[in-house]
Amino acid sequence: MRFLPIKDWSPGYLYVCPRHVDIRVRCETCGIEKDFDRDTLPIALYRAEVEDIERRLKCACGEKKARLLFGHLEAAATDEKG
């Protein structure tokens, strides 16, 4: 599956983001991308601004320079001949 980010779009607040939109986290330092599960957030951050959540995210490389990406997962196209 491939992630297709929505260019230059952020809902501002995470709770405003529709459930059908997939969220990924990208470390700006090392470039690693991982899926983000909004259900794992503490209740206190449920209505926080996206920028506040990004400031709290820490990568495995030790840096706190993460960015939330909003978009959709696209299934890999298979070449079926028949």
pLDDT digits (tens, 9 = 90+) for 15-59: 899 999 999 999 999 999 999 998 988 988 889 999 999 999 998
Give every CB contact of residue 24 below 8 A, 6+ residues apart in sequence: 3, 5, 33, 34, 35, 36, 68, 69, 71
**Contact (Cβ atoms closer than 8 angstroms) between residue 25 and residue 58:** no
Domain membership of residue 80 (yes or no) is: no
Domain membership of residue 79 (yes or no) is: no
Domain membership of residue 51 (yes or no) is: yes
**Contact (Cβ atoms closer than 8 angstroms) between residue 55 and residue 64:** yes
Instruction: Give the count of domains, the chain.
Output: 1
Residue 8's domain comprises 2-74
At residue 10 the predicted structure's pLDDT band, cuts being 50, 70 and 90, is confident
- Is the confidence at residue 79, as pLDDT, over 80? no
